[in-house]
Structure 1
Amino acid sequence: MKTPTAHDYDDPSIADTFQRLNSRDHAPNLTQRGLWASWAALVLFAACMVGVAMIVIDADRRAEEIRLRQSADLIVSSLESRLLGTAEILQKTSMRLSLTGKLGHPLASAELSAYTLMDERREVSEITLVGKDGTVLQSWGSNIPPAKRRYETGAKLPERTISPVQNVIANDASAITRLYTLPDTNLVFADLIVPTPDPQQALVARVDLMRLLNEIIRYSTSEHYHFEFIADGRPILPETTDAANRTPGSAIVYEAPITFLGKASSVRTALRSTSYEHALFTTNRLPLLAVAGLLVMLAFSIGMIFHYQRRQHRSHRQLLAEYSLRRTMSESAIVGLRVTDANGRILYVNETFQRIMGWSAEELINQRPPYTYWTEEMEERFTEPRLIAQATEPITFTAKRKSGERFHAEMRLSPLCDEKGRRLGFIGALYDVTAQVRAREQMQAANERFIRVVQSMYSAIAVLSNDRTQVLFANRSYERLFGNKTEGAVRLLEGEAKLPASQHREGVYDEPTGRWFEVRSQQLSWASGEAVLMLIATDITDRRELEIAREAQLRRAESTQRLVTMGEMASSLAHELNQPLAAISNYAGGASTMMENGTLTNERALTAFKKIENQALRCGKIIQRIRGFAKKTDPHLEEVDVTTVIHETMELAVIQARKYGAEIRLDVPEDLPVMRADAVLLEQLLLNLVKNGMEAAHASADRTITVRVRNLRNEQANVLRFEVEDHGPGISDEEKERLFDAFYTTKTEGMGMGLNICRSIVELHGGRLSVEDTPGGGATFVFTVPTAPEATTSSEADL
């Protein structure tokens, strides 16, 4: 980059300022040698202290090992000497003790000798005179707790002792058994065996080695060591809790072999000694204090050096950060910077500005307006440099690169002053906003297309303020129907809110326009961020009028179907009515005859009149039931008792059952809830299904029709499940797919509307009609009817 000189600018101070700014000076190296030296001193000091500590610890450990060996060897020597002395004493008293075995009864002198020996040698807990076969001849037990007598006269020694006893008698030499422990004790014993003058006898002394070991330790300087007897490398006693809790890695262990009575044994016996308290400065803390004091002084000295080095390093880093900030601000990779003087001469451009424009700094510096990157538009807008300086708003213009490519640019100008407030010139921030301009143009085009689409939609669309007092947007369809006011939208929203959920599909009827609308509303956020309500109203008048016409036609078809059913039942109904009419005629004739004969009393006349009245009421009920069934009515949903509907339907169904020779069975619980339904339509539905079952089973051996009702409250929604089951030929899968279609029938005679009307009646009640196969043959028609909210049972409704 070309470095401007002072004579290139009108103001020498400005020239000098930007000469330094344009210079490619480098930041001074940030030295860390002082910190490295401090760290090195700290590391060397730590290494030195670690080395000294390791040497001292090693020396202390070696000294501890020597002390441990000396203590262990001394204790083993004492043990061996003590046992050897005990054997000699036993040998001396064997003559007196063996006489007890020959005489068969204890001697006072023998008793005295035995107890005197055990008092002097407290580790001897029992002395036993045994025969060659291990039989106990006599036994003396120590009175010193916790020892007690172990063997009784005539008992047998353990197997571990019999063999050594036989060897002692055979070799006429003392021996000792291998170490052992007894149950329920935490002691180690050994049996000391010595010969007697009698070649068939031997003395066995049980020696408590733990007592002997503790006495020797008590009179030595080894109390802080841990000792245990081992045989073939394994402890005789289980490891104690105190020893197990210690750290094995820091322990010093030494095993001193034990030679009992100066004789080698097949079992390697040793005394294992362990030192746990051999850590550095355990006993002598003076070196510790000296080393600690030296460490504190050295650490304080190094810390002071390190502290001042860090302060110096922090100051250096702050200066470097200030310098880097100046360079970063000028060479920002986000925005192109250009500095001009008051006359518009370019004094400085950063690398980003050069990269955006395509010209180098040498080509741009010292240029005056019009600049090489200006287009004709900018030359016409800013004919004088002062006009550029006076611009307070961002300047958006079309610029051209060195390659000739044009792009959208935005320049933001601000005065550039020094620390004294003197204006050095102007600094401009250049942005390449081509992508933003294109995105804005695309957004505007997309918005225009969206508005065009919305305006051309058939549905009325309006955006209302959240309080529904202002129309923020409305398409042409809305304006054509309701104008540019909120009254129409508010009417539709209120009408939708009043409709039950089940009637939303029917739409909202608007009286002022006389049209039906399918209304949908949605809360959304408007351009300004405020919450608004969007309304979409679709005109469904034609569809709704068609549905109304279809419903009327369906009601006419239902009425026709009922009349057809009544026509089919005409002969049966005539027969049903003849019975009560004939009874009336007979009662009236009988009364007339008795009146002529003079035998008609008041009581008989009253009886005849009551019977005539009952038969007349029966006829009236039958005719009323037929009129109610055949009467054309609009659907009216209300709370209906299940038992009542079924019983009234069965009054008509029984007439058909007699015609077809069928039998109707009812499986209806007594605690069924109340339904919300149209009683007449349900009676027509049940009668059609029962009649179809009778016709299907007419040629079958089993002509039973079962009507079953179940409450599904606990399994799914609160509905009643009705089942009409027959045992006819059944329905094939192909027929099931078209069974409920209009004008489709499997009968030779029929309109094909019966099951279609049945399905419409079920759907009117919010249920579903289906057909299933009956086990063993036949078909079962199943439909559901919802119960009334908080429905009571049929038994409760009857009350």
Structure 2
Amino acid sequence: MTSPTLPPSTPPIPRTGTWFWRLPILAIAALVAVISLFLWLGLAQEREERRAALVSDSLWMEQNLRYHFESTVDELGQIGNQFGTGGELHTEAAQDKVRELLQGDAGLSAILWLNSDGEMLSTLPASAAPVQVSEEHNLTVVRARTLNRPTYDHPFRLKDGSWAVEVVLPIFGANDFNGYAVGIFSLSRVLEKHVPWWFAERYRISFTDDGSDELASSTQASAANNISFGVSFDRMGGLGIRVESYRDTTRVMPSIVVAVLLAFTVVLIWSLWMLRTRVLRLQDTEAALRAEHAFRLAMEKSTLVGLRARDLSGRISYVNSAFCRMVGWNEDELVGLNAPMPFWFEDSSEPLPASIGEEPARARELRFQHRDGHVLDVLLYEAALIDADGHHSGWMGSVLDITERKRAEALARDQQEQLEATARLVTMGEMASTLAHELNQPLSAIASYSAGCLNALKAGRYDEKQFTDVLGKINHQAQRAGKIIHRIYGFVRRSESRRDRMDVNAAVLEATGLLEAETLRRKVRLQVELAMDLPQIIGDRVMVEQVMVNLLRNGMDAMRGTPEAERLLRVRSESSGEGVRLVVQDQGSGIPAEIADRLFDSFFTTKPEGMGMGLKICRSIAEQHNGRLWFEAAAEGGTLFYLYLPIGTEDKDA
């Protein structure tokens, strides 16, 4: 398992251009246009068919109404011959016929009888109020007499607001002219009585005048349709009819189809737009994913840190190129391997962490063996590997090659030991005159006692008890000289650094003993206060003695300008937390604030003959023991130097 992402060899999906998304929209628009065209053609054909039917039905209706008017006029002519000179009807049959015309389907609202001079003789039905006639009534009467045929006047409005039209019919007897019969047609009644039900369901019919103004209609509702046809009645005073087609309910379906088609088109275009947006977003996401994959792949190949993943059983599931270079095995050879691993050094192993809760961030130092045989030191960090579902699927480790660092640390440690040994030699060199004077005293005493014994032996004067005392003094002085030499040798000899359990008080006494002659020469009083029952620490005794010697000598140097009576150097040991604290206090002038921050810097010194390495080495030794070295100004004057050493744990050989 090298990577869960797409392999770099997978070709990227080409980014779609604008034309790619416009093409289906154009196709949909073309389809909608074609369907709309077919619908429009169908509607146009249907409209023409309906218009043809409207024209045919209108002409039929015109013929029907014309026939009605003509037949009614004929009946008026027949009745007119039966009016007397006084305007009365002679027969009962004539009266019934008039009643039938007025109350039947003829549509007549009134019948007038005029004499030959055009004067009104009678009206039917009889009414006290005068019958309303057209304003051009007299002119129409004259025109009828002139033409000797039925003549229609222009439509006129009655008092009730309805419209009517009158027809004037000249009546001739056997040999002479008898008068006029006038019939007043109610246009609304004519439509009511003579428009068939089937025609009224399909069309709205209305009477019109010459100006196409509507006079009467079969219904007050509008046809709400622009399909209409008008027909004029010849010689009927400009009267005509207009027929309008009602909106056919079947025509609603094409509108619904068009609306649904447009709605689906809008939805489809919207869907395509959303799909385009999503695809573009996916393309952007894929581009970002590929860029991220390329970036991570570049990081993986360029990093110097080895990466390795193991599943829950310890089987290797992933390694990067840095790890492969580190151990000398390629990826195909390592992935899938289980313990023991070919890069383990000798019989070493890598146990899996006990659980996810175990802290894996703590580094472990291991030793790996390269394929070519050389051994390398590595630092391994291992953490739980959590998959995308949040499940613990294994362990992910980062491996650092610290071989060079370990070598550098060993070299630095060796150089530090050399520097410390050199510093001790320098210290002994600085103390050479004092040590020579201290050694000279026991050696002079030994020489004096030996000379006395020789003189006594030569003179033959000797006492066994006296010789025993002298030889004892010689032995004491020899042991005193031997201790001095042993101290010097133990302090300056260079040996392998080793940390063991040690008594801090013993190291302090050894250091003060080494400087005993120095304190006498400089007339410094040394006050040692050692706490009892201190815990033993793990450390290098020689190094601790070296720190104490440096601090004591620095304290004596700090009191050069102090009066002899006040030259007091205090040394004490005390318990402090999980370790031991050593304190060296002098009565000098203190450390100026301007040099306090530089006191532990390399090659910084306040002594004309100093190298500036003493306190730097002392702090390094304290840090090697995981301790601290610091100073503070004493309240009564001078300086306090503190050396804190933790109890620690015993180390293996460095």
TM-score by length of 2: 0.51
Partners of 1:496 and 1:519 within 8 A in 2: no
Shift of 1:539: 2.7
C-alpha distance in 1, partners of 2:478/2:351? 53
1:604 and 2:466 are equivalent in the alignment: yes
Partners of 1:492 and 1:508 within 8 A in 2: no
1:625 — aligned with what?
487
Shift of 1:658: 1.9
C-alpha distance in 1, partners of 2:642/2:473? 42
Partners of 2:343 and 2:368 within 8 A in 1: no
2:407 — aligned with what?
545
| 1:712 maps to which of 566, 569, 576 | 576
1:723 and 2:583 are equivalent in the alignment: yes
| 1:449 maps to which of 292, 295, 304 | 295
C-alpha distance 658-729 of structure 1, shift in aligned 2 (>3 A): same
In the TM superposition, 1:9-408 aligns within 5 A as: 362-363=261-262, 401-402=269-270, 405=273, 407=275
C-alpha distance in 1, partners of 2:596/2:487? 33
C-alpha distance in 1, partners of 2:458/2:426? 47
1:735 — aligned with what?
595
1:768 and 2:628 are equivalent in the alignment: yes
Structure showing greater Rg? 2
- Give the 3-state SS of the residue equivalent to 1:738 in structure 2: coil
- Give the 3-state SS of the residue equivalent to 1:664 in structure 2: strand
The one-letter code sitting in structure 2 at the alignment partner of 1:706 is R
C-alpha distance 491-408 of structure 1, shift in aligned 2 (>3 A): farther
C-alpha distance 600-496 of structure 1, shift in aligned 2 (>3 A): farther
1:517 and 2:378 are equivalent in the alignment: yes
C-alpha distance 496-597 of structure 1, shift in aligned 2 (>3 A): farther
Partners of 1:562 and 1:684 within 8 A in 2: yes
1:218-240 residue CA offsets vs partner (Å, 9 max, x unmatched): xxxxxxxxxxxxxxxxxxxxxxx
C-alpha distance in 1, partners of 2:475/2:623? 43
1:59-108 residue CA offsets vs partner (Å, 9 max, x unmatched): xxxxxxxxxxxxxxxxxxxxxxxxxxxxxxxxxxxxxxxxxxxxxxxxxx
C-alpha distance in 2, partners of 1:471/1:497? 13
1:226-259 residue CA offsets vs partner (Å, 9 max, x unmatched): xxxxxxxxxxxxxxxxxxxxxxxxxxxxxxxxxx
Partners of 1:400 and 1:407 within 8 A in 2: no
2:317 — aligned with what?
472
C-alpha distance in 2, partners of 1:744/1:497? 49
C-alpha distance in 1, partners of 2:570/2:282? 77
C-alpha distance in 1, partners of 2:394/2:511? 55
Shift of 1:787: 2.0
C-alpha distance 722-514 of structure 1, shift in aligned 2 (>3 A): same
1:749 — aligned with what?
609
The one-letter code sitting in structure 2 at the alignment partner of 1:405 is W
The one-letter code sitting in structure 1 at the alignment partner of 2:269 is R
C-alpha distance in 2, partners of 1:636/1:556? 15
C-alpha distance in 1, partners of 2:487/2:367? 37
2:151 — aligned with what?
none
C-alpha distance 511-735 of structure 1, shift in aligned 2 (>3 A): farther
Partners of 2:363 and 2:381 within 8 A in 1: no
| 1:783 maps to which of 643, 647, 650 | 643
Shift of 1:740: 0.6
The one-letter code sitting in structure 2 at the alignment partner of 1:586 is S
1:531 and 2:420 are equivalent in the alignment: no
C-alpha distance in 2, partners of 1:644/1:729? 30
C-alpha distance in 2, partners of 1:488/1:707? 58
Shift of 1:631: 0.5
1:652 and 2:514 are equivalent in the alignment: yes
Partners of 2:345 and 2:369 within 8 A in 1: no
C-alpha distance 526-602 of structure 1, shift in aligned 2 (>3 A): farther
Shift of 1:534: 1.3
1:669 and 2:515 are equivalent in the alignment: no
1:328-348 residue CA offsets vs partner (Å, 9 max, x unmatched): xxxxxxxxxxxxxxxxxxxxx
C-alpha distance in 2, partners of 1:471/1:723? 55
Shift of 1:630: 0.4
Shift of 1:481: 1.9
C-alpha distance 360-572 of structure 1, shift in aligned 2 (>3 A): farther
Higher relative contact order (CA 8 A, sep 6+): 2
The one-letter code sitting in structure 1 at the alignment partner of 2:273 is E
C-alpha distance in 1, partners of 2:351/2:543? 30
C-alpha distance in 2, partners of 1:478/1:360? 68
The one-letter code sitting in structure 2 at the alignment partner of 1:724 is V
Partners of 1:721 and 1:785 within 8 A in 2: yes
Shift of 1:533: 1.4
1:634 — aligned with what?
496
Shift of 1:619: 1.4
| 1:481 maps to which of 320, 323, 326 | 326
C-alpha distance in 2, partners of 1:467/1:492? 22
C-alpha distance 516-361 of structure 1, shift in aligned 2 (>3 A): farther
Partners of 2:364 and 2:381 within 8 A in 1: no
- Which stretch has the larger CA shift, 763-772 or 440-449? 440-449
Gaps of 5+ in 2: 1-257, 353-358
1:602-654 residue CA offsets vs partner (Å, 9 max, x unmatched): 33333333322222222112111101100112321110012211111111111
C-alpha distance 559-506 of structure 1, shift in aligned 2 (>3 A): farther
Shift of 1:574: 1.1
- Which stretch has the larger CA shift, 526-535 or 727-736? 526-535
Aligned residues: 370
C-alpha distance in 2, partners of 1:648/1:460? 50
C-alpha distance in 2, partners of 1:743/1:753? 6
TM-score by length of 1: 0.43
C-alpha distance 789-563 of structure 1, shift in aligned 2 (>3 A): closer
Partners of 2:345 and 2:367 within 8 A in 1: no
Root-mean-square deviation (CA, aligned residues, Å) is 3.5
C-alpha distance 587-602 of structure 1, shift in aligned 2 (>3 A): same
C-alpha distance in 1, partners of 2:406/2:431? 37
2:309 — aligned with what?
463
- Give the 3-state SS of the residue equivalent to 1:632 in structure 2: coil
C-alpha distance in 1, partners of 2:426/2:364? 31
C-alpha distance in 2, partners of 1:667/1:462? 57
- Give the 3-state SS of the residue equivalent to 1:708 in structure 2: strand
1:559 — aligned with what?
421
Shift of 1:437: 7.7
In the TM superposition, 1:671-690 aligns within 5 A as: 671-690=533-552
1:585 — aligned with what?
447
C-alpha distance 731-543 of structure 1, shift in aligned 2 (>3 A): same
C-alpha distance in 1, partners of 2:633/2:349? 46
The one-letter code sitting in structure 2 at the alignment partner of 1:585 is A
Shift of 1:573: 1.0
The one-letter code sitting in structure 1 at the alignment partner of 2:506 is T
C-alpha distance in 1, partners of 2:546/2:392? 56
C-alpha distance 364-766 of structure 1, shift in aligned 2 (>3 A): same
1:389 — aligned with what?
none
- Give the 3-state SS of the residue equivalent to 1:782 in structure 2: strand
